[in-house]
């Protein structure tokens, strides 16, 4: 079988199962490392490279003729889902905003689902940007830092 066909099969059959509901994951640095390790493991299995062989990840990617893209795929899916949810009104928006009545809890704030997407951007700015569907889709390919620079401020 050709390598191109094997790559398409892995992306179609394996990655869809591995990234099921990835839009809702709270990503930590440990999760990112595990996802990258899983991606490299699948490419090594595809190329039949044993764990005992001294082959670097870069060499594996060169043999495959590609680059790491599983984390980028998850981020793109998460970005699309976030825009869809923020344009609507309902329970999901309330859950994302984390509004609860009563006292706040003690201690450090928990990671929320949006912490890896907003990159220091405030929630209100992200919500305003999501209202413009075409602009939101154009921002999909940009990096997180470029997304945060495009937020209009009070001076604008």
Domain extent listing, the chain:
3-70, 73-95+110-149
pLDDT tens string, the chain, 156 residues long: the values are: 899 999 999 999 999 999 999 988 888 889 999 999 999 999 999 999 998 999 999 999 999 888 999 999 998 898 888 888 888 888 877 777 766 677 777 777 766 666 666 555 677 777 788 888 888 888 776 644 444 444 444 333
Please state, in angstroms and rounded to a whole number, the distance separating the CA atoms of residues 150 and 120. 13
| Nearest residue to 71 (alpha-carbon basis) of 116, 4, 118, 134 | 116
Choose among 1, 58, 49, 68: nearest CA to 9: 1
Identify which of 28, 121, 140, 26 has the alpha carbon closest to the alpha carbon of residue 83. Answer: 140
Question: Structure pTM?
Answer: 0.75
């Amino acid at each position: 079988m050709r390598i191109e066909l094997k790559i398409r099969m892995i992306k179609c059959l394996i990655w869809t199962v591995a990234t099921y509901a990835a839009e809702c994951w709270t990503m930590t640095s440990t999760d990112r490392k595990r996802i990258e390790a899983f991606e490299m493991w699948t490419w090594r299995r595809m190329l039949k490279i044993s764990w005992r062989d001294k082959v670097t990840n870069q060499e594996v990617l060169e043999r495959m003729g590609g680059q790491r893209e599983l984390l980028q795929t998850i981020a793109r899916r998460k970005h699309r889902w976030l825009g869809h949810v923020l344009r609507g009104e309902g329970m999901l928006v309330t859950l994302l905003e984390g509004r609860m009545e009563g006292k706040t809890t003690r201690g450090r704030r928990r990671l929320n689902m949006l912490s890896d997407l907003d990159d220091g951007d405030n929630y209100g700015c992200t919500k305003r940007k999501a209202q413009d569907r075409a602009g939101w889709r154009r921002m999909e390919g940009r990096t997180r830092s470029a997304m945060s620079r495009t937020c209009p401020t009070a001076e604008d």
